[in-house]
Amino acid sequence: MAALDGLEQAVAEISAEMSGQTDRGKVADYIPQLGGVNPDQFGLAVVLADGRAICGGDADTAFSIQSISKVFTLTLALGKIGDSLWRRVGREPSGNPFNSIVQLEYEHGKPRNPFINAGALALADVILSGHRPREALGEILRFIRHVADDDGISIDQGVAISEQETGFRNAALANYMRSYAMLDNPVEFVLGVYFHHCAIAMSCRQLAMAARYLAFSGRHGPDGRTVISPERARRINAIMLTCGHYDGSGDFAFRVGIPGKSGVGGGILAVVPGRASVCVWSPGLDDNGNSRLGKIALERLSRRMGWSVFGA
Ligand code: GLU
């Protein structure tokens, strides 16, 4: 299969190219536990329609998925309350840093989109309603394990505690939203669920497996089990494309051209509709908080494979 041969070679070559890079960005250290991660790591995994994973570099090393978890909490929140979610959170790019308070004030406590921190707090609140925090977290973890087909996935408690101890800005966002009656549950419960789902640890291979339902119209693969409807998968992909990379979302669309969601742990989860789900990881970040090498690697991969959704 020529196309597949090309892919294996591309993954191997790009992984080798990335190992030689010296300008690797800066590891996030505002969450103290993340500050100690070795920046010299790079992993890449591509999962195809038949479930095969093509991997390079440190694709099996677990890292903190951070904001990538918001893709899964968005899926769960939509599953729970459907389109009424959009009364609680918008779906426009923010053009502001992921933890901006200013925008929230302008917009009366309604977060601009589900992927900025305020939006993800709204998702956590929706998932939490009717549950205790522990049950809500269990639901999130069970869903991720289910879509990844891997029961070994867990929360890194050290990262969760580290963020809980230093998450003053998220606490400010949550309190602010609560003051506008935009959260139904106690602020400390919402924050607890949020910090813990951000602290889930997964490898590139596990994340690429988990995102198959977004690449294949809501199913695990073209012939696989249904997770969500094709329409919902399409819409989540649209939000990933427009809002998935903080205030660097436009540049990601310009350079890479596929839906993706990044996290400050250095991971980027990306979706090539109908073809593949991809995860890349390198802990050093650029000025917008996106993995520096991850973005370069995805740009090269998408270009080599002709994967941009905007045309070959
Ligand atoms: N847990 C991180 C925070 O709230 C997530 C940030 C991110 O990955 O965008 O600051």
**What pLDDT digit, counting tens, does each position of 120-132 carry?**
999 999 999 999 9
The predicted-structure confidence for 149-166, as pLDDT tens digits, reads as follows: 999 999 999 999 999 999
- What is the pLDDT, as a whole number, of residue 32? 94
2 CA distance to ligand 1 centroid (A)? 40
- What is the pLDDT, as a whole number, of residue 3? 57
Atom of ligand 1 minimally distant from the CA of 289: 9
pLDDT band at 100 (very low <50, low <70, confident <90, very high): confident
User: In CATH terms, are 4-63+203-305 and 67-198 the same topology?
Assistant: yes
Check if 94 has its Cβ closer than 6 Å to any atom of ligand 1: no
Question: Is the pLDDT reported for residue 98 higher than 80?
Answer: no
Atom of ligand 1 minimally distant from the CA of 117: 4
Check if 267 has its Cβ closer than 6 Å to any atom of ligand 1: no
pLDDT band at 302 (very low <50, low <70, confident <90, very high): very high
The predicted-structure confidence for 206-256, as pLDDT tens digits, reads as follows: 999 999 999 999 999 888 899 999 999 999 999 999 999 988 999 999 999
pLDDT band at 1 (very low <50, low <70, confident <90, very high): very low
What's the whole-model pTM score? 0.97
Return the CATH number of the domain spanning residue range 4-63+203-305. Answer: 3.40.710.10
pLDDT band at 109 (very low <50, low <70, confident <90, very high): very high
Cα 53 from Cα 170, distance rounded (Å): 36
Cα 54 from Cα 72, distance rounded (Å): 23
Q: Taking residues 42-70, report their average pLDDT.
A: 97
Cα 182 from Cα 173, distance rounded (Å): 11
Check if 69 has its Cβ closer than 6 Å to any atom of ligand 1: no
Domain 67-198: CATH superfamily is DD-peptidase/beta-lactamase superfamily (3.40.710.10)
- What rounded mean pLDDT belongs to the chain? 95
Q: Taking residues 53-59, report their average pLDDT.
A: 98
Which residue out of 65, 67, 73, 173 has the highest number of ligand 1 atoms within 8 Å of its CB and is therefore the one to mutate?
67
Return all residues near 277 (Cβ < 8 A) that are at least 6 apart: 46, 47, 208, 209, 210, 211, 212, 214, 215, 269, 270, 271
The predicted-structure confidence for 16-32, as pLDDT tens digits, reads as follows: 999 999 999 999 999 99
Domain boundaries, the chain: 4-63+203-305, 67-198
- What is the pLDDT, as a whole number, of residue 2? 40
